[in-house]
Structure formats: C-alpha cells, structure tokens
A = this chain, B = another copy of it.
Amino acid sequence: MTESPVKLTAEDGPDQPPATPELEDLYRGFEKELLVPLWTRIGDLMPQQPVSKAQPHRWEWKHLVELAARSGELVPVGRGGERRAIALANPSLGGRPYATPTLWAAIQYLMPGEDAPEHRHTQNAFRFVVEGSGVWTVVEGDAVPMRRGDFLPQAGMNWHAHHNAAEQPMAWIDGLDIPFQYDVESQFFDFGRAVLPDAERTTPARSRSERLWGHPGLVPVSQFKVSAGSPLLCYRWADTDAALTDQLELGDSYTVEPGHAVVRYTNPTTAGDVLPTIRVQFHRIAKGVETAPRRETGSSVYQVFDGAGRVTVGDFSWSVQRGDLFVVPSWMPLAVVSEASGSDSDSGALDLFQFSDAPIFSKLNLFREEVAR
C-alpha cells in the first residue's frame, strides 16, 4: 500500500485536543482516507492578514545585464528554449523563477540579427525597455519597434516574435503572469513559425496598432470591439513622460500625494487595466520627496527607469538606481525616497515602472489598500 502524503500529529498547532490514543487512532484514519482537519492547519491557511511566502528583494541591473550579455555569447536562441530570458527568482520561493507568488519578471537579450521564434500562449505578457533600441516585436504581422521607455503589452494568445535589426545587442524586461497561471492551471501554448518571412521582418517607425489606436480618446470605428487585452501594442515613452510632467506641474491636488505622480496604462476598448491579470503603472517622485508607506493585497515588481533613491519594503531597505528591480510582496508596506544623484537627469526625479497582479484582486472582490499618513 502506498504511503499517505497526509501526516498528522496532535502537536500541529496551538489549541490542539489532548493527544490520547483515541485521537491518534482518529488521525491514522484521516491519513488513510486522505483527510486533514481544519483545526490543525487553520493558522497557516487562514491568517489574520496576508503573510507572504515571498520576501522583498532587489536585483541590481548591472549584474543582470552582465549575465545576460554572457548568455548572449553562450546560449543560442531558438525553437524549444524560445527566448533568451533570465528570470528573477525570489529567494523565498524555493528556487523557482518567480519574482512574486503570481508574477514572472525577466531580462531578455537578443544579439544583432537574431530572431526569437514565433509562439503564442495564454500567459499575459509585456515588454518594458529601460535602455537601448533596435528590436522589433512582431504581433500578428504588425512590427512594433522597441525603444527606451516604451511599454509593450502582449495579451494572451496573440502570435508574437522578436527580431533584432540593429548592430548591437538589446536587453529589456519581460513581465508575465506565469506563476499565477501555473497555480490555477490555465495554460495553453502553441508554437508558430521558427523564422518570420522577410515581409514581416520590416522595421517601420510606428506600428499599425499605434496608427489605429494611439490617438488620445479616438477609436477606429471599423476595428472597435471590446477586447480583454489592449489592441494598442506600444505605449511610447514620450507620452508617458509628458503625462508625468503635466501631472506634477499641475500640483498636489492632482497627484496621489505631494510630489508623487502616477499614471496607469489602460486598454482603450474597456478603459480598464491594460492586461486582464496585470496592472501597469508609472511613478515619478520629485527630488527629495518621501512617499507615505502604502500597502495593498497582491504583489508588485518595480524597475528604476531613471534617478536614484532609497526604497523600504517591510524590514528591507536598499539604495536603487537605473535598471534595478525590486519586489513588494502582498500587504507589505512600501516607502520610497527620491535622492538626486550627479549622473541623473536634470530634474533629479525618481522614475519607477511598476507592474502588479491587482486586476486579479479587483475583479474577484479581494483588493484592499492602506496608506499610513
């Protein structure tokens, strides 16, 4: 007979019944029938507030880029491995490539002339470019250029490939809901063409999607239908930068707190989050500003786009600069101080790109947030 995976003892927690022979006998019965009593597990399963399995952590961009560049030399990209993407593995999540319990974040790297083969999957994805340019993402035949500051959402089940049309390598970050979909078991994945035909390896300055959907408040009548993921495949840095600049200039009545502007990327067919499971926002924190500690259900990954500062998440605190990534687990408070550094932009502001799993919580009536003022 196979051994039961269930193991029970009367010492499993506080407030347990006395460990009599009858109780032992009962617990052996539970094990045999694959049963676990609530009273031995409730503290772990139903805590009084979220206690994350993940730990706050920071990754330094300089190490990521260096390792990615060495991968570019040593590891080919192609069918099977699919992408030269190197994922952040939260130290508390058992060595799995999970930045948080629900989110995947990786640096992707493509050498000059290389192609990442076409595929599609239910996992919702995006790219964000902290430096460089020269790669085009081709989505359903639409070639989208990637440049510093651009955000490219990629909702589930769109065919997509990448090709590097430049003379130098390019790195960027990928965000996906891989851990979430792994947990709930919703994944489908299809392989497409290993190499795109030349007709699709074009390098236009603007994608078709931007020409149709990139004009503020205007939708193309012939294409309009509600879709779960955004049909706009690139949100350009110039727009994001202008929106942040405008918001800060309008003053404290229009920012989330004094000196702290935030914009959210939205789907122009729903006005909701840009991806069904992932919320994406951009923060600009003026020089010298310290944000109020704030926490919410669900987890986030941040990348420093520009500037420098000091970040505190729960009991952890790090100095961060351009390209560095850090994670904020569920219900842990985050506070940020924007610290000017000599090498930064004139404004001295700290620019932070953020993605989180908030849509999962919002749509399922589980979202909570709290600000300490």
Question: Nearest Cβ in chain B — how far from A19, in angstroms?
Answer: 11
Q: Is A81 a contact of B39 with CB atoms below 8 Å?
A: yes
Q: List the B side residues contacting A85 at CB < 8 Å.
A: 37-38
Majority SS at the chain A contact face = loop
Q: List the B side residues contacting A91 at CB < 8 Å.
A: 4-5, 34
Against B, the Cβ 8 Å flags (1 = close, 0 = not) of A112-141 are 000000000111000000000000000000
Contact of A23 among B59, B75, B330 (CB under 8 A): B75
- Please name the residue on chain B nearest to A151 by beta carbon: B217
Contact of A331 among B86, B185, B232 (CB under 8 A): B185
Against B, the Cβ 8 Å flags (1 = close, 0 = not) of A254-265 are 111000011111
Q: Is A274 a contact of B217 with CB atoms below 8 Å?
A: yes
Q: Does A249 reach chain B (CB closer than 8 Å)? A: yes
Q: Does A229 reach chain B (CB closer than 8 Å)? A: yes
Question: Nearest Cβ in chain B — how far from A106, in angstroms?
Answer: 6
Q: Does A41 reach chain B (CB closer than 8 Å)? A: yes
Q: Is A86 a contact of B37 with CB atoms below 8 Å?
A: yes
| Residue of A182, A184, A254 most packed against chain B (CB within 10 A) | A184
Against B, the Cβ 8 Å flags (1 = close, 0 = not) of A90-110 are 110111110001100010000
Q: Is B221 a contact of A262 with CB atoms below 8 Å?
A: yes
Hey, which bits of chain A sit against chain B, CB under 8 A? Answer: 4-7, 14-17, 20, 22-23, 26, 29-30, 33-39, 41-42, 45-53, 57, 59, 63-64, 67, 70-71, 74-76, 79-91, 93-97, 101-102, 106, 121-123, 155-156, 178, 180-190, 208, 211-224, 226, 228-230, 232, 235, 239-240, 242-243, 246-247, 249-250, 254-256, 261-271, 274, 276-277, 281, 297-299, 329-331, 357, 359-361, 363-366, 368
